[in-house]
């Protein structure tokens, strides 16, 4: 299961004139946090959080969770996250989902994890969409449902989440929750591969190796397998080495050249 990244929320302008002062205080706290001065950030955010600012509550949840500028206190972190989440703040909802999923400071509860992830996902949070998809995919806290999983993966994949792109590729390749379609599998594998996702690079190589959804090409199979191996996929190295034995020396040389060029292009357009 993926552990989603956590970061401070960017400053958002308050709309109502009476809140301009509060906005300035939040900004001061944010600037302090970005400089590593979490004590000042907490001092600026706590009054705002007590007054009901969801963004301040969520950020306090984060500093207490990580122990930044204050002793680590998961119970306090959950308190602030919950207050923000109950106001509909997606980042806090997603963070609570992760804590219930992993049993961090709370009893592990897949159903509560799914509840909070879903609320965030419905607001367009791409990481939460991925996690909801994974829970339906694996049947965690809910009956396993590949079709629903694929729907959530797609929403996340369209926002550029490589894990979701890869998983959607797997589903199209295996016909799980969607009609089997090798062309679609290649499309999603490629999008993840272009982000340096090692397993997607390897699977894209396999598609080229056997001509699934693309013209068969040992050169492309070798290239993508090798790129996957260089990014940590053991199967990528096996794919590369297996097909090297079926290729001429000239073909291997060309595949290596393409791989070097692909790295220079940051895996785009290879």
Three-state DSSP state, 25: helix
Q: Yes or no: say if 94 and 4 are a contact pair by the CB < 8 Å rule.
A: yes
State the SS3 of 124-144. Answer: CCHHHHHHHHHHHHHCCCCCC
pLDDT confidence bin for 33, thresholds 50/70/90: confident
Tens digits of residue pLDDT in 39-55? 998 999 999 999 999 99
Query: Which carries the bigger pLDDT value, residue 14 or residue 158?
Result: 158
Q: For residue 154, which phi and psi values (nearest 5 degrees)? A: -60, -45
Nearest by Cα to 187 from 157, 217, 159: 157
pTM of the complete model: 0.86
What does the DSSP assignment read for 91-131?
HHHHHHHHHHHHTSSS---HHHHHHHHHHHHTTT-HHHHHH
Q: How high is the mean pLDDT of the chain?
A: 90
What does the pLDDT look like over 179-194, one tens digit per residue? 999 999 999 999 999 9
Tens of pLDDT, residues 108-121: 999 999 999 999 99
């Amino acid at each position: 299961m993926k552990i989603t990244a956590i970061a401070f929320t960017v400053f958002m302008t308050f709309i109502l004139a009476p809140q301009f002062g509060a906005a300035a205080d939040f900004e001061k706290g944010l600037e302090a946090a970005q400089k590593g001065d979490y004590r000042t950030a907490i001092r600026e955010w706590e009054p705002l959080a007590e007054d009901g600012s969801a963004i301040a509550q969520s950020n306090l949840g984060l500093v207490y969770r990580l122990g930044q500028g204050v002793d680590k206190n998961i119970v306090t972190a959950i308190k602030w996250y919950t207050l923000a989440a109950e106001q509909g703040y997606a980042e806090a909802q997603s963070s609570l989902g992760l804590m219930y999923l992993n049993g961090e400071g709370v009893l592990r509860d897949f159903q509560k994890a799914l509840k909070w992830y879903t609320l965030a996902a419905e607001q367009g949070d791409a990481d939460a969409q991925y996690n909801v998809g994974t829970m339906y995919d694996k049947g965690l806290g809910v009956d396993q449902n590949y079709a629903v999983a694929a729907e959530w993966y797609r929403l996340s994949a369209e926002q550029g989440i490589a894990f979701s792109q890869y998983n959607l590729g797997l589903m199209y390749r295996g016909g799980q929750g969607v009609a089997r379609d090798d062309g679609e599998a290649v499309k999603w594998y490629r999008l993840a591969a272009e982000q340096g996702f090692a397993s997607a690079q390897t699977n894209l190589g396999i598609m080229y190796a056997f001509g699934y959804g693309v013209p068969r090409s040992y050169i492309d199979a070798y290239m993508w397998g090798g790129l996957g191996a260089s990014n940590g996929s053991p199967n990528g190295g096996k794919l590369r080495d297996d097909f090297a034995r079926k290729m001429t020396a000239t073909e291997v040389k060309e595949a290596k050249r393409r791989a070097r060029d692909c790295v220079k292009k940051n895996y785009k357009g290879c």
